[in-house]
Structure 1
């Protein structure tokens, strides 16, 4: 991250289907933002404004172009961000660090293959979904289930659960506009069964190849799109036989295509990545 004598930091503002980011280049070895600075950058009134901060850093894997880390708007860290992965890929292409249409980047939890598509779209291999409760983590259930039930404020809440590098709970609803997102999202996130909290998705199936989704994210709240959340909701519904293995997830900010050809295959997420502006932050 370039730091001129004035103490200013260069950044790029980007979004993937409305999920917006401040991107910082730390490949020169500059330290990442601490929790306080991350929260200041993300502040939509006194900062740049974003859902998450992405720091681009030196690659960890020998085949990778670069690595990235994720900081939520409350200053906490995250393990995975699908929309962020596409934005990092687009940033590296614009920077000239990538010449090929296919390349690899390192997230905090894995190395991901990226494929450059047409019209500013990218496909990212998001890894294998983990349904084992210990891997999510989800406490109190010894084995994976198609659906789990937890009592919340006198109501038995039924949900699927999976890790896409970060924990997700998925609730199927009849009408997405009426989803109890603001009520059940925080309750599930604070529940002792999710020791690392959880991203909570509410999905409405439209047909075999199309569903709508809203996600209440850890450390952020509801976002216009959540890439790992779209993957999580899709694979939960696909595993139940409710959705085909190649489906579109429509989020408030746009559409993401999710492909999961078989249980032993990686999930591939495709969608847009867009630049909004570049600027300097008065650090």
Structure 2
């Protein structure tokens, strides 16, 4: 630990998850407690710390440069989700994390939200609007876009992915959901189960800031009752394999829907090892197509660091 790192003794925390994607959560409304990357890694260590795929610090937007910059155009974005991967590196956004973040704000008495109401949240991936539902939360994740649009439009894929357990490199499509994703379609569930994600898959070319890699199996039939169905596993940057990834589920739906063509539905159910999340495509007020993510959020414990 660096000399500049302030000891974390006495720090209050909570532990929460969204479909098994789990986080250490810390309330720091006035931005008084910056947590060093090595401290984040220690807290997220599953053997020597609390354990989690990442750490989320709840800070009022005015107390962070990234948050203050958002407030000029989004004065309702009182809270900023300061998200770190499990290795301590910064991350732009986390779709499961932002649901858990809002649930944490409510649990801590820092915000109130009735069913049907929404909160505007600042993130490094832009402002996200999170609404409470009867079974969890839904999030307007904003517009999606291809990371390599020329290749995507020409070939439908833009990269190759190698992973342990796959016999040859597989074609893939790179999608930005405010953070980068590379989606690989596999033939069946047996191939998905046999893919080993302990080590990071090799992506060529890799997006400029690295990428999360999703391995997706479309259902057969793909669409049931106007809902598309996908089963997915994911390797997250700076974390490894996780039980769920919200932005990854959105990216997998984007890629599968693109490959399926014009008749593909706007509503999707994405099964991940930790459960199932919903993905919906709709026209945004900015004239671009937006993606909505829905799913549960749970706080399982709280405590104080010794």
Structure 2 gaps, min length 5? 1-6, 62-66
Matched, 1:219 2:238: yes
Give the structure 1 partner of residue 83 of structure 2: 70
Match of 2:40, SS state, is helix
Moved >6 Å (runs of 4+): none
Q: Equivalences for 1:221-240 in 2 at 5 Å?
A: 221-240=240-259
Q: How does 1:266-281 map to 2 (within 5 A)?
A: 266-281=290-305
TM-score by length of 2: 0.81
What residue is the counterpart of 1:254 in the other structure? 275
CA 1:254–1:129: 2 relative to 1, 3 Å: same
- 1:151-162 superposed matches below 5 A: 152=162, 155-162=168-175
Determine the structure 2 residue equivalent to 1:107: 123
Distance in 1 between the 2:154 and 2:234 partners? 22
- Taking the aligned partners of 1:78 and 1:238, their CA distance within structure 2 comes to 26
Matched, 1:125 2:173: no
Partner of 2:58: 56
Structure 1 residues not aligned, in runs of 5+: 135-139
1:60-99 to structure 2, matched below 5 A, reads 60=67, 61=71, 62-99=75-112
**CA deviation vs aligned residue, 1:173-196 (integer Å, no higher than 9, x gap):** 12234236436972325x553332
**Cα offset, 1:46, TM superposition:** 1.0
Cα 1:12–1:105 shift into 2, 3 Å: same
Contact kept, 8 Å, 1:11 with 1:25, in 2: the verdict is yes
**Which stretch has the larger CA shift, 158-167 or 5-14?**
5-14
Cα distance change of structure 1 residues 278 and 171 upon mapping to structure 2, 3 Å threshold = same
1:188 is aligned to: 202
Aligned residue in 2 for 1:11 = 13
Shift in alpha-carbon separation, 1:225–1:144, aligned structure 2, 3 A: farther
In the TM superposition, what is the alpha-carbon distance from 1:126 to its structure 2 partner? 0.6
Cα offset, 1:211, TM superposition: 0.9
1:137-182 C-alpha deviation (Å, 9 max, x unpaired): xxx9597752124375994420111111111010111223423643
What is the count of residue pairs matched by the alignment?
A: 271
1:223-266 per-residue CA deviation (whole Å, 9 max, x = no partner) reads 00000000000011112226521010010001100001359221
